[in-house]
Amino acid sequence: MLPYYLEICVVVLGSLMLCMELFAGRRSRAKIAMVGVAGLGVIFALLMFAVCSPGEDLQYWGIYHFDKWAAFYKGLALISTLLVLVMAREFAPVFKHYTSQDEEKSGIGEFYCLPIFVCSGLMWMASAKDLVTIFVSLELVTMGFYVLVAFMRRNVGSLEAGVKYLILGALSTGFLVYGIAWTFGVSGTFNLEELSVVLAGDDIPSAPVMFAFALLIAGIGFKIAVVPFQIWVPDVYQGAAMPVTAYLSVASKAAGFIVFLRVVDPFLAAPSIREPAIYLMVFVTCATLIYGNLAAIAQKNIKRLLAYSSIAHAGFLLMALPALGAAGTIAGPGPESAISFYLAGYLLMTLLCFLVLTVVRVATNGEDLTALEGLGKRSPFLAFAMLVGVASLAGIPLTVGFFGKFFLFNIAIQNAMQNGLWIVVFLAVLGAATGFYYYFKIIRAMYWEGSVSEGEVTGLKVGRLAMLAIILLVVAVFFFGIFPAPLLGLTL
Amino acid sequence: MTIIDLIIIIPILAAVAIGCGGSARVLALAAAWANLLLGLVVFVTLVAKGGDEMHFKSSWVLLHSPELTLGFAVDGMSGVLVLLTVIVTFCAVRVSSGDLGKGSGKLYYISLLLIAAGALGAFCATDLFFFYAFHELALIPTFLMIGIYGNGREKVATAWKITIYLGVGSLILLGGLIALYVSLSPPGAPTFDIAKLAPSPGEHPLSAEVQKWIFLPLLVGFGILVSLFPFHSWAAPAYAAAPTPVAMLHAGVLKKFGLYGMLRVAMPLLPEGFEAWKGLLLVLLLGNILYVGLVTISQRYLDRMIGNSSVMHMGYIFLGIACCNSIGWGGAVLMMFAHGISIALLFALCGSLRERLDTLEISRLGGLGGSMPFLAVTFGFAAFASIGLPGFANFASEITIFFAAFKDAGEMGILQVATILALWGVVISAVYMLRAYRSIFQGELIGERYPADLAQSMRLPVVLMIVILLLTGFFPNIILKLLPNLFEVL
């Protein structure tokens, strides 16, 4: 089977769902979501068959690559889209509240279809090794998100988020195009492999290359939310519907990171600009670590808190970058596999948190920390699931989040021992310690706060599918937190 | 699956079973009983086979590069600490009051069992990674226990303080451990196996300078976890605010993790690193003994006083470690055991006083011996043990440590001077303990109520702990002879 059939399958699935929506009339749209979930599940199974050739790098038309990372990130995109659909189905009541109670007018059917198309873009990003392809696939994803973020049309927050995302997204696209243009001007190629050959030459003018590099970082930095391109994150995360926020913070970030890695790699490998490029990266890393962690402390809205935490996680992920191109000197997993492992773990724990939050949001109509109060008494299992997700985000051992952080610290400390970049390690330790505070605030809200009287102790309603997803995610967070090898093996 | 795997997994399984709807107190007690018996079996086996080698080995390789193994084993030192853990856990579960609300009682016992499992896993892990990971397991349960079930108005602030303090400490420690494994692993085969990291005698692969800088984060990290001066300020308020069983487990068992780490990891793997910081460590431990000792004297509340006394006694154990000979390290391990039991005993008794009285302010109590003779007598035993009077294991360990400092000492070095200064700590201990005892239990009864004596359910654990202290006090060799091997590394 040709690997690019996967993307075609996803697009076909999306179109099919759109047709269903067209002919559904006034009937319930929940089935459309189920079709999406089932379809994505089947495509994920197909991906397993496509993976079976390890070490291979298939190329099509010079712009589409299929290697182990492409497969890995395609898998991440599929799973996160699938879970987001589950979440969206759970979220439907809130959604209708802000659009229309009428199924047909609410547009909820389209809401189920859009993530599918975004997913095809994400999967394409994973295979893009050419600046033009990267740009097109990135835009496909971003276009989808423009609509998704602003979808709750009777909610001011959602509209505000949509406008912000649109304007800043367009700005970042501008940076990206400009960076691509400069890169092409300097090197005469869009292809990243050829680019690394050209940049490795001696007669490369370093100033324009650095300029191009900085522009590219700015463009992609928007997608993965690193400082100073993070301004949109808190407002957009807060304003968008819960499933969209989850989708943004997981899938968009993961796909952004694989592109980021692929784009940064040729620049860091070029001897003439390796040093300034690394200093630029270190600056960005430090700023991201400080900003994300410190700003998260004061947050009272959970989505905003998770937005800053998502910035902080981007900072942790960036710690591994200076080791790019120096692989082989690092004991343990290299930077690429550490980052991939972390992102996979991040997917599990973040979607776990968002699933629980979706349930809470539907039941209590609140997105502040106070909405979680008494959850430990009302729904012990949901509270436990949230506890697991949060503990994993904070990096408590025996959860997948700890292994992720551990591999990254492993790389950062070895970097520091070789190159003296101790500042990054120092800030990361401080950041992780700060993380204990703001993540534990969530735990505190669930277990200490709020006196729930006996009469009120009623569990929250959870859909069967969502419950199954929550259970599976809890198990996965623990399983990979004790046995990382199966997941790490996919990234090596 | 070996007996050690069982000891670690039983509390975890019991916690899961409670979470799934089992009867909390019954399951917790059953797990505690089972662990106590298994712990005794382990200890007896070690006595029979000798503590030189690792017994009950088990391992599952989880990763190949870096080599990561979920493996457990015990030698003499970990055996002693396992015994300590199962005894204190048993007593802590026994003294927990059973009348908590239905839903929250579950959380209470789950947290207790997880703290115990974390300590056991850390003491038995043969792998640096899991040695660290298991200790961290206690972080969230402690946070929840102090926050939900704690005492006093400051419990919220205290819960945050201990969590963040220990979080920072463990992250610093993690940094040091990563640097350690990277530098000491055989070339091309990174591993976390502590045995494989140990340098062959005589030839250390790292220069003294490198060892020095890797040792520092380890010292600071372990120091924070053990409440080494000046990183001690989290300890006393946390123990005062924590519910009784958590204070017992934390002060009695979990705190020993840092000391165990010094003896198991930092000292044998980085001997020259220690030499570089020896002077600093001696000053800091004197800070524990003398400065915190004086602070303890000035405490007005019984629970704070006991908490501070526990911080103070950490100084002696560090002194034993700093002696760098087999006598000192043996004394240190014995003292870890003795202090663990005696502080748990003190907190257990302090907890039952708190249940019966309106206040624990020492000057507002008096004459309680008349109405609670059993508690008064047992508290007397605990206080004497804590001071280090002969007959208790604490005495045996302190005297061993003091002698060890003078072993092979031709002239007065900094170690000897520090030891002489540290001797004054015994006087300080006597001052605050005896003063508190006299004020609380003797003299005129203050107040009108005659509080009831120690509850029947509390008597077994209390007597058990006293008997163990006396037994190991009269026959310290039970423990000491398990510990000869550690020290040949240097």
Q: Which of B68, B136, B178 sits opposite A409 (nearest CB)?
A: B178
| Residue A439: predicted pLDDT | 92
Extract the tokens encoding A183: 């890169």
Condensed to tens digits (0 to 9), the pLDDT of residues B242-275 reads: 888 899 999 999 999 999 999 888 888 888 888 8
**B455 at the A interface (CB within 8 A)?**
no
Complex-level ipTM: 0.89
3-state SS string for B420-489: HHHHHHHHHHHHHHHHHHHHHHCCCCCCCCCCCCCCHHHHHHHHHHHHHHHHHHHCCHHHHCCCCHHHHH
Closest CA–CA distance from residue B217 to any residue of chain A (Å): 12
| Residue A457: predicted pLDDT | 61
Report the range of poorest mean pLDDT among A111-125, B264-278, B476-490. B476-490
| Residue B102: predicted pLDDT | 43
Strand pairing partners for B72?
Answer: B58, B125
| Residue B100: predicted pLDDT | 55
Q: Is A439 helix (H, G, I), strand (E, B) or coil?
A: helix
Stretch 205-244 of chain B: residues touching chain A, C-beta under 8 Å: none
| Residue A51: predicted pLDDT | 59
Closest CA–CA distance from residue A436 to any residue of chain B (Å): 7
Q: Select the residue from A297, A316, A427, A448 to test the B interface by mutation, using most B Cβ atoms within 10 A.
A: A448
Element (H, E) at B73: strand B68-74
Extract the tokens encoding A70: 């492409």
Condensed to tens digits (0 to 9), the pLDDT of residues A384-411 reads: 999 999 999 999 988 999 999 999 999 9
Q: Which residue of B has its CA nearest to A437?
A: B164
**B402 at the A interface (CB within 8 A)?**
no
Q: Which of B62, B160, B185 sits opposite A483 (nearest CB)?
A: B62
Q: Which residue of B has its CA nearest to A388?
A: B140
Report the range of poorest mean pLDDT among A55-59, A207-211, B195-199, B245-249. A55-59
Query: What share of chain B has pLDDT > 70, as a percent?
Result: 96
In chain B, residues with a C-beta closer than 8 Å to the C-beta of A406 are 129, 174
| Residue A175: predicted pLDDT | 93
Condensed to tens digits (0 to 9), the pLDDT of residues A451-486 reads: 655 555 677 788 888 999 999 999 999 999 988 888
Which chain A residues have any C-beta within 8 angstroms of a chain B C-beta?
A: 331-333, 376-377, 380, 384, 387, 391, 396-398, 402, 406, 409-410, 413-414, 417, 425, 429, 432-433, 436-437, 440, 443-444, 447-448, 457, 482-485, 488
* Cα A32 from chain centre: 24
Compute the average pLDDT of residues A292-310: 92
* Cα A483 from chain centre: 23
| Residue B51: predicted pLDDT | 72
B190/A332 CB distance under 8 A: yes
**B174 at the A interface (CB within 8 A)?**
yes
- On average, the pLDDT of chain A sits at 88
| CB distance A237 to A304 below 8 Å | yes
Q: What torsion do the CA atoms of A12, A16, A18, A23 make, to the nearest 10 degrees?
A: 160
Count of Cβ atoms closer than 10 Å to residue B445 Cβ:
14
| Residue A452: predicted pLDDT | 58
A413/B178 CB distance under 8 A: yes
Q: Which residue of B has its CA nearest to A482?
A: B62
Extract the tokens encoding B65: 């590069």
Residue A13: pLDDT band (50, 70, 90) is very high
A397/B148 CB distance under 8 A: no
A484/B168 CB distance under 8 A: no
Q: Which of A397, A448, A488 sits opposite B136 (nearest CB)?
A: A397
A474 vs A69, A254, A377, A468, B422, CA distance in Å?
A: 25, 20, 19, 10, 51
Compute the average pLDDT of residues B314-340: 89
Residue B358: pLDDT over 90? no
Query: What share of chain A has pLDDT > 70, as a percent?
Result: 96
Cα Rg for chain A, rounded, in angstroms?
22
* Cα A4 from chain centre: 22
Q: In whole angstroms, give the CA distance from residue B258 to residue B263.
A: 9
Extract the tokens encoding B365: 């109590």
B182/A413 CB distance under 8 A: yes
| Residue A379: predicted pLDDT | 85
**B5 at the A interface (CB within 8 A)?**
no
In chain B, residues with a C-beta closer than 8 Å to the C-beta of A474 are none
Residue B486: pLDDT band (50, 70, 90) is low
Condensed to tens digits (0 to 9), the pLDDT of residues A231-285 reads: 899 999 999 999 999 999 998 888 889 899 889 988 888 888 888 888 888 999 9
What counts of helices (H) and strands (E) characterise chain B?
Answer: 22, 2
| CB distance B334 to B461 below 8 Å | no
Q: In whole angstroms, give the CA distance from residue A476 to residue A349.
A: 9
Q: In whole angstroms, give the CA distance from residue B189 to residue B177.
A: 16
3-state helix, strand, coil in chain B (%, to 5): 75, 5, 20
Q: Which of B104, B136, B163 sits opposite A440 (nearest CB)?
A: B163
- On average, the pLDDT of chain B sits at 87
| Residue B490: predicted pLDDT | 42
B62/A485 CB distance under 8 A: yes
Closest CA–CA distance from residue A224 to any residue of chain B (Å): 26
DSSP state at residue A475:
H
Closest CA–CA distance from residue A325 to any residue of chain B (Å): 18
> How many CB pairs below 8 Å do chains A and B form together?
96
Give CA angle at A385 (A380, A387), nearest 5°.
90
Give CA angle at A421 (A420, A423), nearest 5°.
125
| Residue B101: predicted pLDDT | 47
A437/B160 CB distance under 8 A: yes
A398/B137 CB distance under 8 A: yes
Condensed to tens digits (0 to 9), the pLDDT of residues B403-433 reads: 888 877 777 788 888 888 988 988 999 999 9
Count of Cβ atoms closer than 10 Å to residue A453 Cβ:
8
Q: In whole angstroms, give the CA distance from residue A148 to residue A146.
A: 6
B134/A391 CB distance under 8 A: no
